[in-house]
Amino acid sequence: MEVTWTLNELVDQAKAAIAQLPPPTNGQIRAVPDDRTIRYYATIGLLDRPSAMRGRTALYDRKHLAQVVAIKRLQTAGRSLAEIQALWPTLDDSDLGRMAGIPLKGKGARKEFWKQDPARTPVAPRPIRPLAAAPLELRVELAPNCFLSVAVTGDVHLTAADASALRAAAAPLVAELARRGLAAQNQEDS
């Protein structure tokens, strides 16, 4: 059985894990979240629902701890909560665990529709066609001021599903750019 914590215990676990990270430099974010901040993360969709309930007490597990630590790591790297919200759906448990430095068991808990096998998920193709046989460039914004460009020549058509798959495949690159502070930094953190 997996270890679970109450909200206050989760705060203590996060405090211990975050103590090993560099402190934030901009002074606008808390180095360690309190229980109120963690509740706010749950409210805005950055923290999954509690894994269990004991009476009226919510219980949290390692995945919740990884989420809190990953949020703080990204904020320390200059990411805003809005940027983190945009990145969140592209991460699976292993990406989240690597980002937080907290190994997660590969139980596949984040099997949302965007993680399903595209061959099994019918998607109406919306081709993006080149103009007058000119090469097509698909430019996907990975993070503010950071783009991935894919040039397509000839009679090749990319669908919206292709663009979504490219964006999801680039998620580890986005996380690494954020970790290294190589993407433009935004000062809207809270």
Reading phi first (left if > 0) and then psi (alpha if -120 to 50, else beta), residue 185 is in beta
Give which of 27, 50, 28, 26 is closest to 38, Cα–Cα: 50
Give which of 32, 36, 95 is closest to 68, Cα–Cα: 32
**Longest pairwise C-alpha distance within the chain:** 65
> Which pLDDT tens digit goes with each residue over 60-117?
999 999 999 999 988 888 888 999 999 998 888 888 988 888 888 754 444 444 455 5
Hey, what are 184's tokens?
Answer: 């433009």
Has domain 1-115 been given CATH number 3.40.50.1980? no
Task: Check if the beta carbon of residue 63 is closer than 8 Å to that of residue 96.
Answer: yes
Q: What percent of the chain has pLDDT over 90?
A: 31
Hunting for tokens 């975050």 — which residue is that?
Answer: 18
Which residue ranges make up each domain of the chain?
1-115, 121-183
